Chain A
Amino acid sequence: MSKYYGIFKMQFKGELQYRAKALSGIATQFFWGLMYIYLYTAFMSSSSVDGFTLSQMASYIWLGQSFFALRYMGMPKHASDEIVNGNVCYKFIRPINIYNQWYFEYLGEKLAATLLRFFPIIVISVLLPTNYGLSMAVSGSAFILFLISLFIGGMLCVSISMFSVYLTFVTQSPKGSAAVISTIAGLLGGSLIPIPLMPSSIQYALNFLPFRYISDLPFRIYIGNIGINDALIQIGISILWLAITILLGQLLIRKSLKKTVIQGG
């Protein structure tokens, strides 16, 4: 375990170096958060939609902007670079599980990027007037469950991202596969539009897919759109999804590693 902690820590420190990049990222997130709130306020027109109020919507958007880095499903860059340029062969000689190594590298990158970014957005958005700003969590226990489910969500996001690493093995090109997976996850996970604003039949169907457990679940626990009891059950489901996606990812990567041909160089 300590070696994975080492990998994690290295990525984490590396990511902390890029402060200017983080700063411009924060400004962007803030600006677009505001735009989205205007947009959905215009759509909702009445003050609440099936119990989803304007102030809950604003909080949902701000949480999404603050934890953007955690829920954004990108391509694990290290892994895909290594596959394309052939450096993956060095991984073969190390006595570590390759999947785990890539997994913790990407998780470290994600957590560092999140920790750098989330705080300023939270502080500014709390100061905004009601219906435009971020409100407090509905209760202490909701807040604790929010933190737990958010962490599981981040891990789930990484484990689903790992499928694009597998697709890179298959297609030899990281460009298409990551975009497709991140779009599917964006649409079905509520980062393109918040899930509570979708038609109710679709909301129901999305419960059976893993994507909404990444960020939609924690955010809705925080704003009180999902009660404590439901939250506990759904956190259980998200842990199940985490286990399934990791196992499947391990299997697929192991399978494709067996077939890997390194072309000298």
Chain B
Amino acid sequence: MLYNKYFKMHMKSSFEYRFNMFLISFSQVFICIAEILAVWLLFQRFETVGSWGFYESLLMLGIIYTVYSITECFARGYDEFAKLIKSGEFDRLLIRPVNIHYQIFGSRIEMSKASRIILGIVVSIIALVQIGVDWTVWKVLVLISTYLCGCLVILGLFIIGAGISIYTIENLEFVNIITNGCKELSYYPINIYNKWLARFFTFIIPLACFNYLPVSFIVGNPATIPWLCAISPLLGGLFIIPCLIFFNLSIKRYQSTGT
């Protein structure tokens, strides 16, 4: 399969610079640990925020790290799409007889994110054990769909960013703001923010659908409606559809930069 070849190629190229990869992996894990420490310090001082304790926040943090790193690892091509446009390399992708999304996925695979994926999963497991969830089949299914929904939503954001850069050529900062910033502020229950912000991040960009709502269902947060929380990841995953439509429409308008 073609993707296998892409995968092997990226694997080889990143292992060429082993020291560099090690350094980047190390620094990424280091940053994550510092962020976890900051959250821990806050809870050390205040113990709870709303009905939320440290481990509930840790679980959300674990989910966000995992899905974000998985998406960054495999879909970095969308994140750095502006580079393809600027260098004119996108023209080459367009004339090949393979689906364009398939090629973008293949254009970048970042092995150095693997360390963060592992960290995210470990953190999620620690949090789940510490919370002491009484598991049911439904909760397992919701947890799995949460991770899937998370990947789809972040991927959707990357795709929108890529679509916009077809018009602007430059990478716009605001996409990074949404993706990176949300990462930082979504460890906490979304209802502590302003009502309109909370609505924006539930209904327009469905961040809450892969952290606050499903986690509420899993830990049994009394402030929410259980069945609605349980299906929220499924609804949130639909976010990818308008993103793809937007991207495909944008490609039709594509004018080469001519370089």
Residues on A lying within 8 angstroms of B by beta carbon are 21, 24-25, 27-28, 31-32, 34-36, 38-39, 42-45, 49, 171, 173, 175-177, 179-180, 183-184, 186-187, 192-193, 197-199, 202
Contacts and interface: CB of A to CB of B under 8 A. Distances in A.
- Dominant SS at the B interface? helix
Contacts of B197: 35, 38
Contacts of B102: none
B167 interface: no
B20 interface: yes
Given A35-B193, A42-B188, A44-B46, 14 more contacts: A21-B173, A24-B174, A27-B174, A38-B194, A39-B49, A43-B45, A171-B23, A175-B27, A176-B27, A177-B23, A179-B31, A180-B26, A183-B31, A198-B45
Nearest to A45: B46
B223 interface: no
A193 B34 CA distance: 11
A38 B50 CA distance: 12
Interface of B: 19-20, 23-24, 26-28, 30-31, 34-35, 37-38, 41-42, 44-46, 49-50, 172-174, 177, 181, 185, 188, 192-194, 197
A193 B38 CA distance: 7
Contacts of B194: 34, 38
A187 B34 contact: yes
B42 A193 contact: yes
B223 to A, nearest CB: 14
Contacts of A35: 181, 185, 193, 197
A179 B194 CA distance: 32
24 contacts: A24-B173, A24-B174, A27-B174, A28-B173, A28-B177, A28-B181, A31-B181, A32-B181, A34-B194, A36-B185, A42-B49, A42-B188, A43-B46, A43-B49, A173-B20, A176-B24, A179-B27, A183-B30, A183-B31, A184-B34, A186-B34, A192-B38, A193-B42, A199-B41
B34 A175 contact: no
Contacts of A44: 46
